[in-house]
Amino acid sequence: MTQVPAIQLSDGTSIPQIGFGTWRIPDSKVTGVVLAALEAGYRHIDTAAIYGNERGVGRAIAASGIPRDELYITTKLWNDAHLTADARRGIENSLMRLGLDRLDLYLIHWPATLQYGDSYIEAWDALQQFKAEGLTRSIGVSNFLPHHLDALSGETPAVDQIEVHPTFSQRALRDELTRRGITIQSYSPLGSGADLRNRELARIAARNSKSVSQVIIRWHLQHGLVVLPKSQTPIRVRENFDVLDFELDAHAMSRIDALDGDNRVGWHPDTARL
Ligand SMILES: NC(=O)c1ccc[n+]([C@@H]2O[C@H](COP(=O)([O-])OP(=O)(O)OC[C@H]3O[C@@H](n4cnc5c(N)ncnc54)[C@H](OP(=O)(O)O)[C@@H]3O)[C@@H](O)[C@H]2O)c1
């Protein structure tokens, strides 16, 4: 099997460039789906406390028999737990549900300023403490814009997980995060499915004898993004991982870049009320 490329984070650790997204996969179903993903070759799993499926992900990790150091596990601190004591309960509960004693990456899920003011600043201090204690190897943020990053003290987040897909590619924000040495994780990399219906992408896929989903995932990889496709359909889980044996040429990459538009499928970080 061709090796998934890895990216080195600013803290010196490395992260597999393809991760498996688990949002909206219920706990009752996620164990089988994650086992199918591990069977297909994924070694990086993205979950969150709010997804309500950490226990099921943990059951898959345990049942897989894959050595812990071959897996890369990310989870996220929910918005109502930014204050220090709550954040500590947050990471401890996530570790307990996942059946792990250490995460690979722990993220602040949203700045959530509309509901919780600037409490994300305190959460960042807590995450630095958790990393120092060895509860997680790396720490980062999600849905953070430059003005949120500017408010943080101490170390720079290793990662910002943001919405990126061909019809909403966030070029300016990506450039700014790269300038700051922050690795970008693309969430909703297929536009939560919406970009799969794009006709230009269908033409590029036909020319490459690949599916639209595979072309989009390649586009993320070739831009140096960590990509987190989700599917609860085993055949699609495998299809989305089968992207290591071809390359998009520069012309195809620029045609996909040209699809950039206003097609945000999630919430704007400054106005999200979650
Ligand atoms: N940090 C954040 O705030 C945040 C926000 C959103 C997402 N995320 C992360 O990013 C991950 C991915 O984002 P997402 O779940 O919004 O969506 P996505 O991966 O962009 O798209 C998933 C959708 O596309 C469908 N799909 C996947 N592969 C396909 C294929 N090969 N052919 C046809 N349809 C396909 C899936 O259907 P089926 O499942 O029915 O197969 C599902 O409806 C999440 O699971 C989560 O881990 C993070």
List the residue whose alpha carbon is closest to atom 29 of ligand 1: 236
Average the pLDDT over 246-255 and give the result.
98
List all residues 6 or more positions away from 192 whose beta carbon is below 8 Å from its beta carbon.
265, 266
Average pLDDT value for the chain: 98
| pTM beyond cutoff 0.75 | yes
Average the pLDDT over 157-165 and give the result.
99
- What is the C-alpha to C-alpha distance for residues 13 and 139, in angstroms, rounded to an integer? 11
Alpha helices in the chain (DSSP H): 27-40, 54-64, 84-98, 113-116, 119-132, 146-150, 171-179, 199-208, 212-222, 234-241, 250-257
Pocket of ligand 1 (CB under 6 A): 21-23, 46, 109, 142-143, 161, 187-193, 196, 211, 213, 228-233, 236, 239-240, 266
Q: What pLDDT sits at residue 99?
A: 98
Q: What is the pLDDT of residues 22-71, one digit of tens each?
A: 999 999 999 999 999 999 999 999 999 999 999 999 999 999 999 999 99
pLDDT at 274 over 90: no
pLDDT at 159 over 80: yes
Q: What is the pLDDT of residues 211-248, one digit of tens each?
A: 999 999 999 999 999 999 999 999 999 999 999 999 99
- What is the C-alpha to C-alpha distance for residues 77 and 90, in angstroms, rounded to an integer? 6
CA of 168 to the centre of ligand 1 (A): 15
Average the pLDDT over 207-211 and give the result.
98
Tokens of 196: 């799969």
Q: Which atom of ligand 1 is nearest to the CA of 186?
A: 10
Q: How, if at all, do strands 20-21 and 44-46 pair?
A: parallel
CA of 154 to the centre of ligand 1 (A): 33
List all residues 6 or more positions away from 134 whose beta carbon is below 8 Å from its beta carbon.
102
The CATH classification number of 13-193+226-232 equals 3.20.20.100
Residue extents of the structural domains in the chain: 13-193+226-232
Q: What pLDDT sits at residue 160?
A: 99
Tokens of 226: 């960590």
- What is the C-alpha to C-alpha distance for residues 35 and 63, in angstroms, rounded to an integer? 8
Q: What is the pLDDT of residues 58-85, one digit of tens each?
A: 999 999 999 999 999 999 999 999 999 9
Q: What pLDDT sits at residue 117?
A: 97
Q: What pLDDT sits at residue 1?
A: 59
Q: What pLDDT sits at residue 150?
A: 98
